[in-house]
Amino acid sequence: MFATPVPARLSPPRVRHLALRSAMMLGVLGVATAAATARAEPSPALDRVSLSVGAFSADPRINIGADTQFGRIDAPESKQSHTTIPRVKADLLIGDRHGLAFDYYRYDKSYTPSLTGETIINGQPVTGTATANADLKLDLAKLAYKWWLGSGNDTFGIGLGAAYYHANLNGTATGIVNGETATARDSIGEHAFAPLLEVGWRHAFTPDLRMYAEASGIKKNGGRINGHIYGGNVGVEWFPFKNIGFVADYGISKIKLHRDSERDADLNIRLTGPSAYVKVRF
């Protein structure tokens, strides 16, 4: 008589052990999936990619002093006529906590400064009072690498980067030399790179209605041109369409630059006013 083999059975402890391991693995997988999903969703106050094109409606106050080939140009602080400054901004989110921010605008304005001291045109002294016409151009571009803190409706950003600015002053002087009208033209231009610090806060009331506050500082020491540029603005974003919206803010920029050379120059500009943009996001 032969014994019939009995199929092997798992003991209750081993069954419980395998069930526990399976439950733990499913739990870990679920947590990892949830974490990955959370990481894939940045703050609703941020966009993956955005481009804003608009204008800064500025109320400028200007103070300029410069040594030119025909004499000293001095323009005491004065309130110039209202001017519109084109401006472009772009933001790129890298992952969920990092990003790049770009900002560019150009100020281009003509004005009539006064000439002080002895005025020289074509190497000859001017008889009486000379007049001057000048054109001031200032280009400012900023690029910052940003860290965003917070993933809810509120997020705070800190940015470090570099700024490039180029200032150019073109002037024409007209006066009487030896009984005849004479004209001379001169141009002063400088450009430089400087370190940039930015801070910001953004809040999402809804994914289509948001507000923000930003501030930045640029400081340049040493070299032929030095000084600082500070700015800040507070604004609102509204997206009536999924990818296209409108932005309105109010800001201020204070620019103080000094050229240290044989022909010194000082530039002080204060720009305040509202801005409006069309913003495209992806």
SS3 280: strand
Listed by start position, the domains of the chain span 9-40, 42-281
How many other CB atoms are found less than 10 A from the CB of residue 99? 22
Classify domain 42-281 at the CATH superfamily level: OMPT-like (2.40.128.90)
The closest alpha carbon to 88, from 117, 56, 110, belongs to 56
Asked if pLDDT for residue 148 goes beyond 60, the answer is yes
Which amino acid is it at 48? R
pLDDT single digits (tens) 50-70: 999 999 999 898 888 877 776
Mean pLDDT over 132-152 rounds to 92
The whole-number pLDDT of residue 120 equals 74
The whole-number pLDDT of residue 261 equals 75
Measured in degrees and rounded to the nearest 5, phi and psi for residue 55 equal: -150, 150
How many other CB atoms are found less than 10 A from the CB of residue 183? 15
Asked if pLDDT for residue 40 goes beyond 80, the answer is no
- What predicted TM-score, i.e. pTM, was given to this entire model? 0.78
Q: Comparing 213 with 68, which gets the higher pLDDT?
A: 213
Is residue 167 within 8 Å of 140, Cβ to Cβ? no
Mean pLDDT over 194-213 rounds to 97
The secondary structure of 105-153 as a DSSP string is: EEEEEEE--EEES--EETTEEPEEEEEEEEEEEEEEEEEEEEEEE-SSS
Mean pLDDT over 68-90 rounds to 79
